[in-house]
Amino acid sequence: MLLFNYDLAEELELDPFIFSSDYGLSIFSGNEIPEGSTPIAQAYAGHQFGNFNPHLGDGRALLLGEITNIHNQVKDIQLKGSGLTPFSRRGDGKSALGPVLREYLISESMNAMGIPTTRSLAAIASGENILRDTLLPGGVLTRIASSHIRIGTFEYASKLEDKNQIKKLADYSINRHYPEVAEIDNPYLAFFAAVCNEQASLIANWMAVGFIHGVMNTDNMTISGETIDYGPCGFMDEYHPLTVFSSIDIFIDDKGSVLTTIEAVQSCERITLDSAHDATVILSDEALGIAVLKPEERLAPLGVAMFQTGVPRLQAEVAVAGFPYGDVLVTPSLTFGRLADLRGLNGEENIKRLSLTAQDGDACGPVFDNGGAVLGMLLPKVSTNGQVLPPEVSFSVDTDLILASLAGAGITAQTTDTMAFMPPETLTLRAAENTVLVSCW
């Protein structure tokens, strides 16, 4: 056990000496289920960066149960990073130690500043290595929250199209968080207004201290008005309205040049690679929507993208590297799918159609074949004339067009026409070596 919050334990009426001992370690690491607990992973939906994803959920978190504190308030106890859940998809349900320590530090700092937030009771070193871009030490966080009912929880319930279920969820939420509205003539409208007020107050508090959440989507916002899910968050040292965090892009040569999108860098006063190296735009291709960045000092990336010039087989497995989970942005993860067509739905020759359920954090990420070569760059999902395609339909910019654009600017990228194969674990490492975090300031 690396960190234990003695003050919070006393507030929860948990004996700090017992729960900071080996007994507490066995519970907070997920190795032992406390008596009376039935751990669950919660389902929710979410609008992520403007697009709706109906099927999200706790991919690496388990709710142990509820506890009443000394103020007679009900609190959730949740383990984050303890292992697989029904919503883990291809992930391992684990957490690296770095994000655990980050959430502990920032959540407790926010609480000290008087900003509503989830709390951290314990930070555990799991003793195992977690495969991300490399092997990293694993960790488990014990999170305390007023509840884990999110805006996305209601979005998930609404997709069930069962008014009785929505009413049950609303009644429970009112009773737990806003009991004062229960006797109003229209308690549900009053509940909605109360949640809106809490959200507005919370964000005003964030702005007052320069806090940037990074993934302020409906799946990461609680109805209680507490800050939750400290992923790609940070603080502005000096206020600037264009400060944002960040996108994933790929190295295209051994000097550290990076392929990105115009959208990612068009409004930046400053661009950094991995938050440490300044870069400038040396190519903007409006037709393709791509841009190339050059670091101001030469870098030595671990890997460089190898672009596929051969004709891939239809229905071959592909993977996009991106940030599909708002709170796991330290390294990219892979979302797997298949190559559905070499053209778009209307026969467009400049894009490939993928059968792949990409999320918004995947947009602009590299699309790899199952040999680790880059097939293209994933396009953001858009709606046309009010029509939204099924979630499993995605598109990528064609490699040949990217190469032609680079060549026109005097940039020679590495290519291959070999159709190889590598296991997912090796492909994950390849993706991490080829990718870099681009931040716009």
The residues annotated with a catalytic role in the active site are: 219
**Per 3-state DSSP, what percentage of the chain is helix, strand, and coil (rounded to 5)?**
25, 30, 45
Do strands 414-416 and 306-308 pair parallel, antiparallel, or not at all (unpaired)?
parallel
Question: C-alpha angle with apex 206: 203 to 209, nearest 5 degrees?
Answer: 155
d(CA 39, CA 371): 39
Question: Is 45 buried (19+), middle (13-18) or exposed (0-12) by CB count in 10 A?
Answer: buried
- Contact (CB, 8 A) for 62 and 82: yes
Residue 281's φ and ψ, nearest 5 degrees, are: -85, 125
Q: How many CA atoms lie within 13 A of 44 on its CB side?
A: 26
| Enclosing H/E stretch for 209 | helix 187-209
Kindly give the residue spans of alpha helices, DSSP state H, lying in 34-160. Answer: 97-112, 151-159
Could you tell me which residues are beta bridge partners of residue 79? 62, 142
- Contact (CB, 8 A) for 359 and 320: no
- Contact (CB, 8 A) for 218 and 209: no
C-alpha closest to that of 98 among 425, 327, 333, 275 = 327
